[in-house]
Amino acid sequence: MRRYLLLAWVLLGLVAGGALHLLGHPAAAGWAWSAAGLPVAAHVALGLLRSLLGGRIGVDAVALAAILGAVALGEAAAAAVIGLMVAGGEALEAWAEGRATGALTDLMARAPRRAARIEGQSVEEIDVAAIRPGDLLLVRPGETVPADGRLEEEAATLDESALTGESLPATFARGAALRSGGVNAGPAFRLRADRDAEASTYAAILRLTQEAAAARAPLARLADRWAVGFVAFTAVLSAGAWIATGDPLRALAVLVVATPCPLILAAPVALVAGIGRAARRGIVVKGGGALERLARVRTVLFDKTGTLTPGRPRLAATDADPALGRDGALRLAAAIAQGSTHPVSAALVAAAAARGLDLPVPDSVAEVAGGGVTGTVSGHALMLGAEGFLHGAGIRIEDGFGVAASVAAAAGSVAWLAMDGRAVAAFVMADGVRREAPRAVRRLRALGVRRIVLVTGDRAAAAAPIGRALRLDAVLAEQSPTDKITALRAESAAAPTAMVGDGVNDAPALAAADVGIAMGAAGTAAAAEAGDVVLLVDRVDRVPEALAIARRSRRVALRAIVLGMGMSGIAMGFAAAGLLTPLAGALVQEGIDVFAILYALTALRPGAEEAAPAGLSPEAGFAERNAEHAGLRHLAEALREGAEAIGPTPAALPALAGVERRLRDELLPHQREEERALYPEAARRLGGLDPVAPLIRMHAEMEALAERIGLLLRLAAAGDDWREVAPELRRALFSLEALLRLHLTVEEEMLAGIAGEAPAA
C-alpha cells in the first residue's frame, strides 16, 4: 500500500507542478516537482541502504543519484519524471510479487484439535495437547486420528491418502500401529496412544512444511543481477563527461538517461503478463519470483495419487467363473456393493452402470468394518471383500483362480466375490494413469526438462507400472514426507527442480522445492498453500503449459531489458556529448521506457512453443466418435470373452454371432464416420504428408479381421469341421481385440491434443 501511495503522490506533484508552470509560477512549479521527486529519493535511499547492509548494490543507486542531482542543479522537472518511473516500477513490482499465501492456515485447520479420551465407562473431550502416552482414545467415523498409537479393536479402516498417497483405504487389524493424520473411514474404534500429539506423524508434517518454507532463500530481483557493472559504467561515463567538459549538467544528463527503468519495469511487466495469461488458463502463479524460478526448471518430480493418477479406484480387470461370466459376476458384485459406501464398492457400481447392467436390489446387506459386505441377491448368498474376509468365512480360493488374480493384482488390489459359499470372481482395482498424463510428460521433454521422477508414498508394485507407462527416469516408492524432501534436495543439487503434488504429505516437499506446483482443484488446501503455483483445473497437462508460459515471459523480459538498456546506452553517449539536456534526456528515457513496456507486454501472446493447433470443428464429430470409444472397449472385452469361450464343441456359436453383429453395427460404422469427417480435418490440423495414415491402416486391418470372423462363423454354421474352424476363429478374435484396444489408445493420443481437451474415459 505504501508504494501505491508513493506513486499517487508523485503523480499529484507532477500534475501540480505542470499546472503551476503553465500559470506562470516557475518557482512554485519547481518546488512542486521537487516535492514529488524527493520522497521517492528517500524511499530509494532506504532500500539501497538495506541492500548495502545485505552485501549487494542495486540499480536504484543510479536513480537516487539522478533525482538528487536534478534537484541540486535546478532540474526539478527531470527529478519528478524520474521519480514517476521509479515509483511506478515499484508499484507494479509490488503487485506482481503481492503476497498470495498465509501462514499455512489451511494446513493448520486440518490438524485435529480435540480428542475423545475414554476414562472407565465415560468419554471425555480433551484438547489434543493433553494426550499422553498410554491414553485410550475413541476415534469416531470421519474423525482424524489425533496421535500415533495401537489399534485396540478387531479391525479399522483408515483413509491415509494424506499421509501415504495411497488412494485405497487401508485396513488394520488389532495391535496395528496407526499414524496420526489418517481419517477413520469405518466405524468408531479405540486407540492406545504411543506418543503425545506434538510428537506424532501429522505434527511432524506441519513442522516439516514450515521449516522447508522458511529455508528457501528469496529470489533476487532480476534487475539487480547487472547492478554492479551498470552502476560502475554509469559512474565512469558521467564523471568522465563532467571532468572532460567541466559541465555538471552533462553528468546529470547521463545519469537521467541511465536511470534503469527498463530494468526496473520491463521484467515486472513481462512477468505480470505471464501471470495474467496463466491465470486465464486456470494456473495461479504466486508472484513474479515464482514465475521466474519456474522458467529455469530442468527437473520435475511428480507425486502419484491425485497427480499422475486420478486418485480414485477403478475396475481394471475381472476374472470370473465361466459359468457365471464376467458381466454376470459384475452384476452381482455391483448389486451387493450398492449397500456399501466403500470406494471399491462405488467403483464396481460405476463399472456396472457404464456397461448398462441392470442391478437388482440386494437383501439383508451388512457391511463388516475392514472386511467387506454380505447380502442376498436373486436368492444367492453373496460375500464381497478382501481375501481374508472370505477366508474368515471358511471360503477357499482355488489355486488357479488365485494365481490369475495375483498376477493381475500386481498393480492394484483385489475384491473377491463369493456366491453360496464358493469364490466365483475376482475384481482387480487400480488407480490408472490420467488420460492427459502421457502428453504432459512428452511436452515437458519437448520443453527441455531433462529428468522426470515419480516420488510417492504408495507401494512399489503400484508405482512401477505408472513409471513404466509414462517412461519416467526414476520411480521412488514408499517415500515418507521426510524421504520426499531428501529426494528433492538431491535432485535440486543437480538442476532447478519443481515438485508437483496434491496431498498433505506433499506439502513439505512443495514448500522445499525450487518451485512447488499444487493440484489445487482436487488436492488439499495444505498443498495449495505450500505451492508456488496452484492448478485450479484438475489436469496435469497444465504443468507443461505453466512451464511454457513462464519461459516465454522470462525470455520476453530479458529481451525487453537488453533492448531497453541498449537504447539507454546509446542515449547516454548522446548525453555525454552534450546533445541531450537533463529534461530532454528524461523525456527520451520515458520513450525508451514506453518501448520496453510495450515489448514486455508481448508476453501476453503465446510463443511458438505454446502454439496449439486450432481445435476441430463440431462437424468433424470428434466428441461423438470419442464418446463411442467406451462402447468399443466393451466390444473388445466381448471379443476376448468370445475367444475364451471357444471350446471343443460349437456351443459358443450363438454368443459369437452376437459379437459379430456388434462388429457390423458398431465398429464398422464408427470407422466409416471417422474416415468421412474426422480424419480429413485432423490431417489438416496435424500437418505433414499423411499424418493419419497409421490409423486408416489399422481400420483396414480391423475390417479384414471382422470379415474373417464373419466368414469363419458362416463356415461353422454350415457344418464345417469345428476342430479346424475353432483355432482360426480364436486367433482372429484375439487379434482383433488387441488391435482394437491399441487403435483406440493411439487415436486418442493423436487427436486429443488438437481437440483441446483430454479424451473421454
Query: Angle, nearest 10°, between helix axes 722-755 and 653-662?
Result: 30
Give which of 662, 614, 616, 618 is closest to 636, Cα–Cα.
662
* Structural contact between residues 245 and 578, judged by C-beta atoms closer than 8 angstroms: yes
The answer to whether residues 137 and 118 touch, using CB atoms and an 8 Å cutoff, is: yes
Q: Which three cell numbers stand for residue 585?
A: 534526456
- Please say whether the beta carbons of 262 and 592 come within 8 A: yes
Environment class of 192 (CB within 10 Å of its CB; exposed 0-12, middle 13-18, buried 19+) = middle
Catalytic residue among 303, 431, 506, 593: 303
Phi, psi of 117 (to 5 degrees): -105, 135
CB atoms inside a 10 Å sphere around CB 215: 11
Q: Which residues pair with 117 in a beta bridge?
A: 124, 137
Record the cell numbers describing residue 629, joined without a space: 470409444
The residue among 301, 731, 282 whose CA lies nearest residue 533 is 282
Q: Indicate the SS3 state at residue 124.
A: strand
SS (H, E, C) 624-690: HHHHCHHHHHHHHHHHHHHHHHCCCCHHHHHHHHHHHHHHHHHHHHHHHHHHHHHHHHHHHHHCCCC
Angle between helices 76-96 and 2-22 (to 10 degrees): 150
580: phi then psi, degrees, rounded to nearest 5: -135, 125
Angle between helices 227-245 and 542-576 (to 10 degrees): 10
Please name the helix (run of DSSP H) or strand (run of DSSP E) that holds residue 551, with its range, or none: helix 542-576
Q: Give me the residue label for grid cell 505471464.
A: 274
Phi/psi for 683 (5° steps) reads: -65, -40
Measured CA to CA, the distance from residue 732 to residue 729 in angstroms comes to 5
Contact call for residues 180 and 203 (beta carbons, < 8 A): yes
- How does strand 515-519 pair with strand 413-419? unpaired
Please name the residue ranges forming H helices in 447-541: 460-470, 481-492, 507-512, 525-530
Do the Cβ atoms of 435 and 758 come closer than 8 Å?
yes
Beta strands in 490-614 (DSSP E): 497-501, 515-519, 533-535
CA distance 513 to 530: 10
Q: Rounded to whole angstroms, what are the CA distances from 128 to 108, 116, 132, 146?
A: 13, 9, 9, 7
Percentages of the chain per state (helix, strand, coil), in multiples of 5: 60, 15, 25
| Residue 262 host element (H or E) | none
Q: Give the Cβ contact number of residue 26 at 10 Å.
A: 13
Give the amino acid at 372: G
Is position 303 annotated as part of the catalytic site? yes
In three-state secondary structure terms, 216 is coil
Rg (CA), the chain: 34
Long-range contacts from 207-210, C-beta under 8 angstroms, 24+ separation = 208/481, 208/482, 208/485, 208/508, 209/104, 209/107, 209/507, 209/508, 209/511, 209/526, 209/530, 210/104, 210/511
Is residue 454 within 8 A of residue 467, CB to CB? The reply is yes
Task: Kindly list the catalytic residues.
Answer: 303
